[in-house]
Structure formats: C-alpha cells, structure tokens
Amino acid sequence: MATKDIVVVGSSAGGVEALQRLCASLPADFPAAVFIAQHLSASARSVLPLLLGRAGPLTALSPADGDPIEAGRIYVATPDHHMLLRPGRILMRRGPHENRTRPAVNALFRSAALAYGGRVIGVVLTGLLDDGTEGLIAIKAAGGLSIVQDPADAEWPSMPRNALKRDHVDHAVPLDQLGDLLTRLVVEPAGPTVPLPAEFEVEDQMAAQDFAVMEKTIVTPGEPSHISCPDCGGVLNEIAAQEELRFRCQVGHAFTPLGLAAAQSDELERALSIAARTHRDRIRLFEQMRDNADARKLPRAVGRWEGAAKESAEMIAILEQAMTSLRRPIGDEEG
C-alpha cells in the first residue's frame, strides 16, 4: 500500500536555519524522500546540502537532472534551477522564473501534486510574500496533505500566514513539532489521487522547459489581461483558480498577486532611483554653470543656475520619499 512518502518543503527568508532544525529532527530511518526549494541567489554556490547533511542523520544532496528518487534522502534544489518531480525521477531545469525566483516553491509543489497526488505532503516554512500558497492548493486538490509552520513561530511569517489565509491547510505547527508530525504522517496510507485541471499540467510543462528550447506548442493558460510582465514586458494572462488570480506571460514568467505587486514595486523603485541619480547629475552640472557665470560676473545667470539646482534638490527629496513608501513589504500586515 502506498504511503505519504513524498515530502516537499518550501522556504525563503530565515529558511536556512529553519531547514537545519527540521532536518535535525528527522530520524535516520525516515521512510520518505524530502525535496527542498529554498530561495537562493542565482550566482551563489549553495552549501545548503552540506549544512543540512551535517544537521541530521539523513543524506542531503543537490540532484542532477534525471536522478532517481530514493527514500530517506533530502534533495535540495540548486541555485537558478527549478526542481521538479516526475514518477521515479527528478528534473533540474532553468525554466521561467516564478515570482522572480528560481527555484520556486510553487513549481516544486505543483509538479509533486501532478506526479504523486495523494502521496504528497507539502510544507511551507518561514519566508516573505506567498510563494508556496498556490503549490499547497495544488497538493490539496490532488489529494495530498498541507502543513505550514505556525506564523507566530516563524522568523518571517508571511509565507505561512498567506497560506493559512487561503483556508486549505491541514496542520499549522511550531517548527519544533514538525519533525515528529512528519514522522507520523509519512507512514500513513496515501489518500486517493484526484486529477488536477489542465492548466496545472501546462504550467508544469512550462517550468520544465529551458528558455533555449521553449516548446512552441505550449499555450499559456488563462485570458489576456491589461497588465504587462515586469520581467519581459509581454502581456500577462490571468489564470483564475480557487477564487484567486495568478498571472503568467507568453514567455512563461509567473506571478501570484503579491508577487506581481512586489515586482512592480521593484520596477518603480528602479525607475525612481534612476530619476534621483539623474537629478544629482543635473545639480553638479548646474553648480558648474553657476560657478562659470560667477567667474564671468553674470549675477542673473548665477541666480538662474542656483534656482535650477534647488529645484533638482527638491525633486530628489520627493523621489526618495516615494522610494521609502515602496519599501514596505507587501502582504506582511498582521491578520
């Protein structure tokens, strides 16, 4: 009889310490395979498998594309690659970013739901915004179980809190209780697998494609919106699921509403930073022209250049105030 032997875990800010504590709490005879998507810098060499292997008794590694799945192992997604599951094997692919991240928690969870259905346990730990929420919904819809770290126990509570808001979570527990809970759950019989809607399969296929070989036969699900993709500028399609929208462009970049709002804030901050820098350059130019006019005994010109410099300084103050207002994390409010 099949058991709940596929455990997928997602984390972001604060995740390295949380994952070490989780791995330390799992027993040496843990009879399931564990798959971890932790948001990482794309350019950094990850030592996370080493840290997790040292933290507990289970072997932790970053798999290669096509590696087989073995129970009792911890598989860690490598930087700049989505980790996706297929029956009996693992894919490591540089598919389109989801919420500007790769690896993305949603991509891992979605693939697990499609490949293993009722055998899957999804776990969302500490982190910002809401990566993992849509993935947990897919796992639940396919017949699996969903768990979040108690937000009050998380260093960064947004990811588990946003998952709880969607009313599909089976367990919310402190991190210190999670290892024991998983140890009990993974030996239980798997529930029946429920087929997922076609758009989940299409999005999983998108995540599995490298940009260089993106299949033209894959059609982006949903309906065109009036919003452009922050990553490539293309039109975003709206995909309605579970009384919530998510967005994906023709290239494949995907966003939750919170992820899209955060990406738009990043774009605005970048544009405002460029404007502020340009005004600083204008002040240097105006001051140089003022000094030149002063040397030539042209008082009216001196006043004109001083006024222009003052206006640019005032604009810098306005732009910096606007940038400060953008830096408040979206989706981190209480409740």
Kindly list the catalytic residues.
12, 39, 131
Instruction: Report the distance separating Cα 185 and Cα 335, nearest Å.
Output: 29
Residue position matching structure tokens 């949903």: 222
Alpha-helix runs per DSSP H in the chain = 15-25, 48-55, 105-116, 133-141, 158-165, 175-185, 198-207, 257-295, 299-326
Report the C-alpha gap between 33 and 30 in whole angstroms. Answer: 8
The DSSP 8-state label assigned to residue 58 in this structure reads S
Question: The tokens of 303 are what?
Answer: 């006043």
Q: Give the tokens for residue 69.
A: 């799945």
Q: Determine the Cα–Cα distance for residues 293 and 202; give it in Å rounded to an integer.
A: 66
Q: What are the CA-CA distances from residue 251 to residues 39, 135, 211, 220, 317 (Å)?
A: 21, 20, 8, 8, 38
Q: Across the beta sheet with 235-241, what order do the strands follow?
A: 223-228, 235-241, 244-249, 254-255
Q: Which residue has the tokens 């029946």?
A: 192
